[in-house]
Amino acid sequence: MSTASKPKIAILGYGSQGRAHALNLRDSGFDVTVGLRPGGPTEIKAKADGFAPKTPAEAVRGAELVAVLTPDMVQPQLYGETIEPNIAPGACLLFAHGFNVHYGQIAPREDLDVVLVAPKGPGALVRREYEIGRGVPSVYAVHQDKSGRAEEFALTYCAGIGGARQNAIRTTFKEETETDLFGEQAVLCGGATKLVQAGWETLVEAGYQPEVAYYECLHELKLIVDLFYEGGITRMHEFISETAQYGALTRGTYVIDDDARAQMKKILAEIQDGTFARQWIAEYAAGNANYKALKQADLEHPIEAVGKKLRANMKWLSTAPQAPAKSAAAKSARKPQPEAA
């Protein structure tokens, strides 16, 4: 590889993270090529952003650093069929999540540097923070250091997407993968969703208006999370009433009790021993029937109908960032092609 200062980069995938990384790196002065399946749903978006997408194989062949930003379950096939046969000897292979390397779904060639750079935020935020001169905090890791400069390449990439504007923390593929999965399952997505739904159901079953229950259990959650984000639990206590503080301090453990903590430990154990990974890999391979059924149940929960009606009157929400469009393959739950973003 020529130099860690400005390696030629191939971005494979142009979803939420892929688009943000590609745009930030280009704006930071890097030579960026986007590798996408011709005719795929993200090719038009990449062209509109000023890129000239190549096929994934072509993009990989011309790169010194290849960033794999496609969905986790697509990556093993993409690596085996496209990346490994085309990536240059001694190049750097970069992931934004350690799932496939950590759980042995991808065994990178021994001549490659293999690193991880994971922004702690969604792609839209990674892009927005970069544009206003800030950056989303990131973690980075080195799995293989063939050149002796793998960490340098990771930090160079991290700086290019804006992550080094904050304190980039060195981690391992194991730690990033296991803590990321735990956070999603126990707190951020799984835990928060079920807590909101259970709270709403409790109030509605007790005879309170569904709309009022929505405001109390879902809508106002953002206000508290914003305080957490700005200054931790300390800031929350600074801005809520003494009544709210006393209730939180004396009743929070009714919900998050020893049983809840035991379930969290179970979640973590299933991540650590590979149970979750095996289940998810098998689910995906079998066509995602259970995944689709569980997701549909979430989408059809009564709180969603109430929220949709209330949010229609919150005109300011129309300016909020929108989720990236799903590909036709994802919408129909067919297995996506390896190059799909």
Q: Say whether 16 counts as a known binding-site residue.
A: yes
Q: What are phi and psi of 15, to 5 degrees?
A: -85, -150
Q: Say whether 127 counts as a known binding-site residue.
A: no
Look up residue 129 and give its two tokens. 């923070």
Length, in residues, of the chain: 341
Q: Of 21, 97, 102, 143, which residue is the catalytic one?
A: 97
Q: Helices 258-272 and 173-182: crossing angle, nearest 10°? A: 140
CA angle 90, 94, 95 (to 5 degrees): 150
Alpha-carbon span 193 to 205, nearest angstrom: 18
Q: Say whether 180 counts as a known binding-site residue.
A: yes
Q: Say whether 160 counts as a known binding-site residue.
A: no
List the beta bridge partners of residue 325.
none
Q: Say whether 220 counts as a known binding-site residue.
A: yes
Write out the DSSP string of 30-83: --EEEE--TT-TTHHHHHHTT---B-HHHHHHT-SEEEE-S-GGGHHHHIIIII
115 SS3 class: strand
Q: Say whether 259 counts as a known binding-site residue.
A: no
Q: Say whether 17 counts as a known binding-site residue.
A: yes
The answer to whether 149 and 175 are in contact (CB under 8 A) is no
Alpha-carbon span 95 to 102, nearest angstrom: 11
Instruction: Based on the residue annotation, tell me whether 301 is a catalytic residue of this protein.
Output: no
CA angle 93, 97, 99 (to 5 degrees): 100
The answer to whether 58 and 35 are in contact (CB under 8 A) is yes
Distances (CA, A) of 152 to 21, 61, 94, 172, 272: 18, 22, 12, 15, 29
Q: Say whether 37 counts as a known binding-site residue.
A: yes
Binding annotation for substrate:
241
Binding annotation for Mg(2+):
180, 184, 216, 220
Binding annotation:
14-17, 37, 42, 123, 180, 184, 216, 220, 241
Binding annotation for NADP(+):
14-17, 37, 42, 123
Active-site residues: which are they?
97
